[in-house]
Amino acid sequence: MKVAVVGVGYYGPRHVAAWQQLPQAQLCAIVDADPQRAQAAAGAAGVPGFSDIDAMLQEAQPDIVDLVTPETGRLSLIEQLAGAVPVLVSQKPLAPTFDEASRIVQLARARGTRLFVHENFRLQPWFLRVREHLDAGTLGPAQHLLFRFRPGDGRGADAYLARQPYFRTAQRFLVHETGIHYIDTFRALLGEVTAVTARLRRVNPVLQGEDAGLVLFEFASGATAVLDANRDVDHAARDARLTRGELLLECRDGSLRLDGHGRLWRRMRGDAQEQLDWAVPAGAPVDGVLEFQRRLLAALSGDAFRAAYAEAEAWLRNAELEEAIYRSALERRTVATS
């Protein structure tokens, strides 16, 4: 399948590199609003570069267009592309607001374009491994999950200036930009959410949005989860942004712990903790980009799509839960979500 990537700023090159690793995909074009950046990235990848999407569509005729662009311009891009290509893939968040995200989904549906949201945290290797242990049944039913999000990347007067400066002006930051990943991952591990309770705050005064908080999730199974998030502080790891934090999953018969190095530890009830015979393989796609793209291509080739959540209509449930979290924090109460 022929793939064009739109946007090669901070994150786009990861998408380009991942597409190039997949034999079922043929990278056919790179587009960026900055002509020099487009040509530089395209030259490195050995494909044509464009600053005009219409010109790219006419010349490259892609089957898939992968949008790695800021959410603020997403609606206009999808208005331009929906109906012109069979498949669109969009970075998350899909749009600045839930209403706009819903409009985008309706637009793609009306024009016959399949729209996917590139939500890949649940496909990080450690979360896939946790899912395998839950499916095996040896731990018993899940009772509680705690994830301490501690990337340590948001401290100081120059926070995010070099990497993603738009983080500084976002009115909704922690939950909208990053918490959405964990909403999705928690659902992948524990099922559907029935209620949320949130307390959010800002630690770094140079930011406009929240950068710390606690969110309690309640699930239909009876399990609970807590996202304990703070972008100002870090955790024990050589690279605080590898796992971005630490996880503890407690089940009826045992528990799993993820440390900051990507290692999993298991303790069965009454026994000592043991390190599992697994670690992050060298060069593994720890951000889940390659795994997402592999599964997407399998789906489009007719195989069962295990990540069917990524269809934009299904992904909207994550955005609904995000809205509930902000409402809970604003009104300082538990918000039912089912």
Domains of the chain, start order = 2-118 (3.40.50.720), 122-286+312-336 (3.30.360.10)
| 302: confidence class by pLDDT, cuts 50, 70, 90 | confident
Rounded average pLDDT over 35-59:
96
Mean pLDDT of 251-276: 94
pLDDT of residue 310: 86
Cis peptide before 205 (omega within 30 of 0): no
**pTM attached to this predicted model:** 0.93
Q: Name the packing angle between helices 74-81 and 53-60 (round to 10°).
A: 30
Over residues 62-80, the mean pLDDT reads 95
DSSP 59-125: HH--SEEEE-S-GGGHHHHHHHHBTTBSEEEEESSSSSSHHHHHHHHHHHHHTT-EEEEE--GGGSH
User: Helices 289-300 and 12-20 meet at what angle, rounded to 10?
Assistant: 50
What pLDDT score was predicted for residue 244?
A: 93
The pLDDT value recorded for residue 113 is 96
pLDDT at residue 301, as a whole number = 83
- 180: CB partners within 8 A, 6+ apart: 92, 93, 119, 318, 319, 322
- For the chain, give the percent of residues with pLDDT over 90: 86
3-state secondary structure of 49: strand
pLDDT tens-digit readout, 94-133: 999 999 999 999 999 999 999 999 999 999 989 999 999 9
Supply 277's token pair: 């015979």
* pLDDT for 309 beyond 90: no
pLDDT at 299 over 90: no
Q: Tell me which of 286 and 291 has the higher pLDDT.
A: 291
Is the model's pLDDT at 140 over the cut of 80? yes
Strands (E) in the chain, as ranges, are: 2-6, 26-31, 49-50, 64-67, 87-91, 114-118, 142-149, 193-201, 212-219, 224-230, 245-251, 254-258, 264-268, 274-275, 335-336
Q: What is the average pLDDT across 314-322?
A: 95
pLDDT tops 60 at residue 289:
yes
For residue 244, give both structure tokens: 């971005």
Q: What is the mean pLDDT of residues 245-258?
A: 97
Nearest to 31 by CA among 58, 21, 23, 292: 58
What pairing do the DSSP bridges indicate for beta strands 49-50 and 26-31?
parallel
Range in 50-54, 157-161, 260-264, 298-302 the model is least confident about = 298-302
Mean pLDDT of 157-169: 93
Q: Per-residue confidence at 288, pLDDT binned at 50, 70, 90?
A: confident
Residue 284: the pLDDT is 52
Judged by average pLDDT, the poorest of 38-47, 101-110, 296-305 is 296-305
- pLDDT mean across residues, the chain: 93
- Between CA 94 and CA 75 the distance in angstroms is 9
Question: Residue 311: is its pLDDT beyond 80?
Answer: yes
Percentage helix, strand, coil for the chain under 3-state DSSP, each rounded to 5: 35, 25, 40
For the record, the structure tokens of 62 come out as 């892609």
**Which residue bears the tokens 């994550």?**
318
Residue 308 has pLDDT above 90, yes or no: no
* Residue 145 binned pLDDT confidence (cut-offs 50, 70, 90): very high
Q: What pLDDT score does 171 carry?
A: 95
Closest listed residue to residue 74, CA positions, set 96, 51, 98, 106: 96
